[in-house]
Structure 1
């Protein structure tokens, strides 16, 4: 099983930031899946700045949230129009709202299912 790492362009808004994100443009967000660490979880790493943090949550939550609003603990995911999805993270430090292109998250999810299906060890003869 292999680790899946993918970078995505996203717009981030935090309640600690009074500027509108569109003024700053998209940022690079890290998406990560490690089936050996936890085959049911994905990670989203927010870039340095307000709201910077790595969040770990259920892969199924991400998948469900692309179709209809879904929530688990401090993470909420929902579709936003036809081509975007929003992932909202809550912590004691505040709230970060991250807007992705849905196709980027779908591509990442497909890669995680492929990685999870790979054999743990390949034997060559």
Structure 2
């Protein structure tokens, strides 16, 4: 198995279409071991198309314990068993709450696939360099 996907229920609290809760998907691919993705379905977005945000697994992990992030994605704990994820884009900001237990379960699964601290062992630098050089021509 090289990928993990987990559905989560996100509670929308700001700047979006009229959907109080939305299904979202957290995903992780061992071929991109430092990153996680959170995908929102088309009906939950302002553009009416599926939107996928990519950010670091470390940001998600650290955001369970305290406020993290200074860019487009910010994560922080909120009350009992809730985590806030803020997504900042030129079109506006979306803020969602996700149960912290769901995020922890997802992160535990990713750690089973690629242990934290060993991500570098799963990088294919030769392939990535070849792709970079191919695109440069």
Unaligned runs of at least 5 residues, structure 2? 116-121, 123-137
RMSD, matched Cα: 2.0
Q: Say whether residues 1:27 and 2:27 are aligned partners.
A: no
Q: By percentage of residues, which structure has more helix?
A: 2
TM-superposed deviation, 1:20? 7.7
**Alignment of structure 1 residues 12-23 onto 2, 5 Å:** 12-17=12-17, 19=18, 21=20
Which runs of structure 1 show a deviation greater than 4 angstroms over 4 or more consecutive aligned residues? none
Task: Note closer, same or farther for the CA distance 1:4–1:78 as it changes in structure 2 (3 Å cut).
Answer: same
After TM superposition, the score normalised by the length of structure 1 is 0.81
Q: Work out which structure has the larger RCO, using CA pairs closer than 8 Å and 6 or more positions apart in sequence.
A: 1
Task: Note closer, same or farther for the CA distance 1:57–1:72 as it changes in structure 2 (3 Å cut).
Answer: farther
Unaligned runs of at least 5 residues, structure 1? 121-125
**Alignment of structure 1 residues 16-95 onto 2, 5 Å:** 16-17=16-17, 19=18, 21=20, 26-36=21-31, 38-49=32-43, 50-51=45-46, 52-95=50-93
Q: Distance in 1 between matches of 2:10 and 2:16?
A: 17
TM-superposed deviation, 1:33? 0.2
Between structure 1 and structure 2, the one with the greater Rg is 2
After TM superposition, the score normalised by the length of structure 2 is 0.74
Q: Distance in 2 between matches of 1:44 and 1:20?
A: 17
